[in-house]
Chains A and B, each alone.
Chain A
Amino acid sequence: GESVGLHLPTLSVQEGDNSIINCAYSNSASDYFIWYKQESGKGPQFIIDIRSNMDKRQGQRVTVLLNKTVKHLSLQIAATQPGDSAVYFCAERGPGFQKLVFGTGTRLLVSP
Chain B
Amino acid sequence: DTEVTQTPKHLVMGMTNKKSLKCEQHMGHRAMYWYKQKAKKPPELMFVYSYEKLSINESVPSRFSPECPNSSLLNLHLHALQPEDSALYLCASSQDQARRYEQYFGPGTRLTVT
Chain A interfacial positions (CB closer than 8 Å to B): 32, 34, 36, 41-46, 49, 89, 91, 93, 98-100, 102-105
Contact (Cβ within 8 A) B104 A102: no
Total interface residues in chain B, CB < 8 Å:
23
B41, B101, B104: most-surrounded residue (chain A CB, <10 A): B101
Number of A-B contacts (CB under 8 A): 51
Chain B interfacial positions (CB closer than 8 Å to A): 4, 40-45, 48, 55-56, 58, 90, 92, 97, 100-108
A110 to B100, CA, bound (A): 31
Contact (Cβ within 8 A) A99 B48: yes
Residues of A within 8 A of B45 (CB): 99-100
B107 contact from A42, A100, A103, Cβ within 8 A: A42
